[in-house]
Amino acid sequence: MAEETTSTPTQEPPIYKHLNPKTAALLRQTNKARAEQEKAAIMSNEQTFIAIKPDGVQRGLIGEIIGPNSSCSYKLVALKLVTPSKEHLEKHYEDLSQKPFYKGLVTSLLGATNPLDSAPGTIRGDFAIDVGRNVCHGSDAVESAKKEIALWFKEGEVLEYKQVQHDWIYEK
């Protein structure tokens, strides 16, 4: 004898009953994908390092890049405005000195190094003009991010907190 399992169906918005089946199915699929992305983002404790380069600062893009209307969904845990020394920059980029150019950059957030290859909605796709003036730097891996965060921020300068709206958006 087979056991019958009951599952509580997800409550769909009332508008779905007025849509044609293909549109409703597409919306369900889109909402499911969005929910999975949000869940993955919540489950991740990884951090990255993003630096807005001098061209981005001089063009007044800081607020656009980190502001509430930015196309990026991330939690800001530390912010610093600095003019680094040549030695500090050399230490920051020492691991890149052996690479022709680094791949695996957080392209979904930053966009490709070449702004012309960057998708709309990425920082570089929206704001960068030229390869040499590509507005921002981003860590290329989790280990790089840890190293870069430690280089740029002292202990206690990176906060850990839960955003107030978290419990209003996510059940778990």
Question: What pLDDT sits at residue 163?
Answer: 74
Residues 39 and 58 in one domain: no
Residues 130 and 154 in one domain: yes
What 3-state class would DSSP assign to 159?
Answer: coil
Residues 101 and 159 in one domain: yes
- Side chain identity at 110, as an amino acid letter? L
Residues 24 and 108 in one domain: no
Question: What pLDDT sits at residue 1?
Answer: 39
**Token couple for 67:** 């502001």
Question: What pLDDT sits at residue 137?
Answer: 83
Verdict on whether the full-model pTM lies above 0.95: no
* Low-confidence stretches of the chain (pLDDT beneath 70): 1-10, 35-45, 68-73, 96-109, 172
Question: What pLDDT sits at residue 150?
Answer: 92
Question: What pLDDT sits at residue 18?
Answer: 81
**Token couple for 69:** 């209307």
Question: What pLDDT sits at residue 36?
Answer: 66
Question: What pLDDT sits at residue 105?
Answer: 36
Active site residues: 137
Buried-exposed string 67-81: b where 16+ CB fall within 10 A, e elsewhere: eeeeebeeeeeeeee
Residues 22 and 64 in one domain: no
Question: What pLDDT sits at residue 57?
Answer: 86
- Domain tally, the chain: 2
Q: Is there a domain that residue 104 lies in?
A: yes
Residues 6+ apart with CB under 8 A from 160: 77
Range of the domain at 39: 16-43
Please state whether beta strands 50-52 and 136-138 pair in parallel, antiparallel, or not at all (unpaired).
antiparallel
Interatomic CA distance for residues 148 and 55, integer angstroms:
20
Q: Is there a domain that residue 169 lies in?
A: no
